[in-house]
Chain A
């Protein structure tokens, strides 16, 4: 079973998404800010993190940098409401696996998470 950390300051969004993923046999972990996200990453080490870019306090790109520094094997998928190309390019440069826009179809999200995990196996092979 795939374990995924969902990070978004929009609590309603993140909890509902978590529930839906759970229904699809994915273990969701939820954080509503950057600090909390880093704590969970340290303790749980989820293989995939789905994270909002714009958050109060520690932003998505800051968290991404911290994660990639300490755990380069963890895949971060950025999910944002603002379709800024600059943010996307910066995120990809900092090592994000992909950059998706809200609202996203659950199938598309799961497909991206799976391909992130798959890329691990492929690179391992």
Chain B
């Protein structure tokens, strides 16, 4: 069970393996962001929620004991007051019944005197009467004319015959006024029994309830076990009217219920059953009033919780976003470096391959060179014969071709090992013209206009002729590829200051996008898929750097490109 729970928690906090793989897809970062946010929210909001719940319950408990429990105490106290009040009156009646004989009490004057004494000493007595065994009131002291009244069949009379003493419920009786009676039964020597009956004013009940000091929204009253009100209620009816809701379960100790009254109001009902008489004291307070402070506190707790959650969510989302962005940036940086390394490795492989090829070709080339050379030597030394000149020219051409091949292989090797730069003083315009020599035929066939603006006063510069030829050849080859037939290429050379010469090559070709411009000097970058090696401009850039110059390019798609080459006049 515990291990299962632990596994659940572990799985909740474990990040899927896919998130560790750097595949660079936006989905991965979205997922990463989701996971981080979820975990951070969980570990911050769960303790907050726990705190809020614990606070809620603790406050509720404290408030309950502070507000609700006193209701029970009040009910208990009042119940005791009632019981004491009734017990005192019962004792007084019992005392008279025990202390005096039937005959003495039957004497009207004696009964009057006794009534005056109890009324003055105890209070609450309305009248006092003696009832003989036939149920007739034979003597009576009090404000009504009830002497000679027949009480046979009255409920309280039957009760007292069984129990010896009895306190009745409130009733109207002959006098049509709510009251209750306390009756005590005694026996004569003859075996007949008689009953002393006292009437108690229920106004005293109202006084006792008033002494509870209730607020106007609360209500307290007494009902009997049949649910008939024994005192008037503020909200639930007058005396002797039935209580509009059922009696609570029996409890002689005070008990508190959270319930609804017949009007649907949420109420606290504090009550206690009397052992004797069979009354129930009830105290009712509306919950809304009792819990007003609790509701306020509850709202405050909820508000603080909500505010904290919103703050946490905001901070977590912001933080997660920043972190994931940083991770993404560092991933991208990593990828870029990785690609750079990959490029460099490719370049190195090409270099090794080039060196290998060049080496393999150089050896047979050397043999051709020597054989053709020897052939030339021999022909040269021979006396004149037919076609001697022709043979000499042939061997010369073979040697020239070998020379061209070796230039290529040496250049290949140079790419591999960056051949040492051979500096010489040279005329830059001359170099440009030499290179244009290679391209003349192409320009002629494609009707490409070459606009030359070479500064004739250009001073000689100290640089590597072969490498410069390579530079101009590469750039012009690109320009030729970029322009349509009939296009225009202009070459401008000029001195920009005492140290630098600038050559600008402008074409009106297809131009390049911003993206292409950003990669144009990267090795293996080519827009001419399937044609170029993607090495031309990379090599060009390398050479210009090596001879201490600089190259810049500006271009707009559809408007052509401008290559500007800066070369130092003296070698650096």
Which residues of A come within 8 Å of B, CB atoms?
A: 10, 12-13, 16-17, 19-20, 23, 81-85, 101-106
Task: Give every chain A residue within 8 A of B53 (Cβ-Cβ).
Answer: none
- Given A23-B377, A84-B355; A104-B366 close (CB under 8 Å): yes
Partner pick for A16 among B358, B371, B414, B420, CB 8 A cutoff: B371
- Whether B366 pairs with A83 at a CB distance below 8 angstroms is no
Residues of B within 8 A of A19 (CB): 374
Q: Within the assembled complex, what's the spacing in Å between the Cα atoms of A62 and B377?
A: 34
Known: A12-B370, A23-B378, A83-B359. 5 other contacts (CB 8 A): A12-B371, A13-B367, A16-B373, A17-B370, A82-B359
The CA-CA distance from A85 to B406 in the complex, in Å, is: 17
A-B contact pairs, 18 of them (CB 8 A): A10-B367, A13-B367, A16-B374, A17-B370, A19-B374, A20-B374, A23-B374, A23-B378, A81-B358, A82-B355, A82-B362, A82-B413, A84-B417, A102-B363, A102-B369, A102-B406, A104-B366, A106-B373
Q: Take A82-B355, A83-B355, A83-B410 as given contacts and tell me if A102 and B365 are in contact as well, using a CB distance cutoff of 8 Å.
A: yes
Question: A19 to B373, alpha carbons, bound, how many Å?
Answer: 10
Across-interface contacts of A82 in B (CB, < 8 A):
355, 358-359, 362, 413
Chain A residue contacts of B414, Cβ below 8 A:
83
Nearest CB to that of A85 among chain B residues?
B417
Query: Which residues from chain B sit less than 8 Å from chain A, CB to CB?
Result: 355, 358-360, 362-363, 365-371, 373-374, 377-378, 381, 402-403, 406, 410, 413-414, 416-417, 419-420
Contacts of B410 in A (CB 8 A): 83, 101
Docked Cα-Cα span, A74 to B302, in Å, equals: 101
Q: Which residues of A contact B413 (CB under 8 A)?
A: 82-83, 101
For A10, the chain B residues whose CB sits under 8 A away are 363, 366-367
User: Which residues of chain A are near B378, meaning CB under 8 Å?
Assistant: 23
Q: Within the complex, which residue of A23, A81, A105, A106 is in contact with B359, where a contact is CB–CB below 8 Å?
A: A81
Q: Interface residues of B: mostly helix, strand, loop or mixed?
A: helix
Kindly report which residue of chain B lies nearest to residue A16, judged by CB atoms: B370
Chain A residue numbers with a CB within 8 Å of B381 are 23
A17 to chain B: which residues have CB within 8 Å? 370
- What chain A residues lie within 8 Å of B369 (beta carbons)? 102-105
Q: B residues within 8 A CB of A106?
A: 373
Are A103 and B355 closer than 8 Å at their CB atoms? Answer: no
**How far does the alpha carbon of A13 sit from the alpha carbon of B359 in the complex, in Å?**
15
Question: In the bound complex, what is the Cα–Cα distance between A103 and B364 (angstroms)?
Answer: 9
A113 CB → nearest B CB, Å: 15
With both chains docked as a complex, state the minimum distance between the C-beta of B400 and any C-beta of chain A, in angstroms: 11
- For the complex, give the distance between the alpha carbons of A106 and B371 in Å: 12
State whether A103 touches B406 (Cβ < 8 A): yes
Q: A22 to B102, alpha carbons, bound, how many Å? A: 180
Q: Which B residues are in CB contact (< 8 Å) with A85?
A: 417, 420
A41 → chain B closest CB, angstroms = 23
The reply to whether A20 and B366 contact each other, CB–CB distance below 8 Å, is no
Q: Is the Cβ of B366 less than 8 Å from the Cβ of A13?
A: yes
Q: What are the residues of chain B within 8 A of A102 when measuring CB–CB?
A: 362-363, 365-366, 369, 406
B362 touches A103 (CB 8 A): yes
> How far, in Å, is A84 (CB) from chain B's closest CB?
7
Q: How far is the CA of A105 from the CA of B377 in the complex (A)?
A: 13
- A20 to B363, alpha carbons, bound, how many Å? 17
Contact indicator B359/A103 (Cβ below 8 Å) = no
The contact of B367 among A12, A20, A101, by CB within 8 Å, is A12
By a CB distance below 8 angstroms, the chain A residues around B419 are: 83
Contact between B355 and A81 (Cβ–Cβ < 8 Å)? no
Chain B residues contacting A84 (CB-CB under 8 Å) are 355, 417
- Nearest-neighbor residue (CB-CB) of B376 within chain A: A20
Contacts of A103 in B (CB 8 A): 362, 365-366, 368-370, 402, 406
**CB closest chain-A residue, reference B402:** A103
Which residues from chain A contact B362 at a C-beta distance below 8 Å? 81-82, 101-103
In the docked arrangement, what's the CA distance between A23 and B367, Å?
17
Shortest distance from the beta carbon of A19 to any chain B beta carbon, whole Å: 6
Interfacial chain A residues near B417, Cβ < 8 Å = 83-85
Which B residues touch A12, using CB under 8 A? 367, 370-371
The docked-state distance in angstroms from the alpha carbon of A117 to that of B373 is 24
Provide the bound-state CA to CA distance between A112 and B363, in Å.
20
Q: Which residue from chain B places its CB closest to the CB of A14 in the assembled complex?
A: B370
Q: How far in angstroms is the closest Cβ of chain A from B478?
A: 27
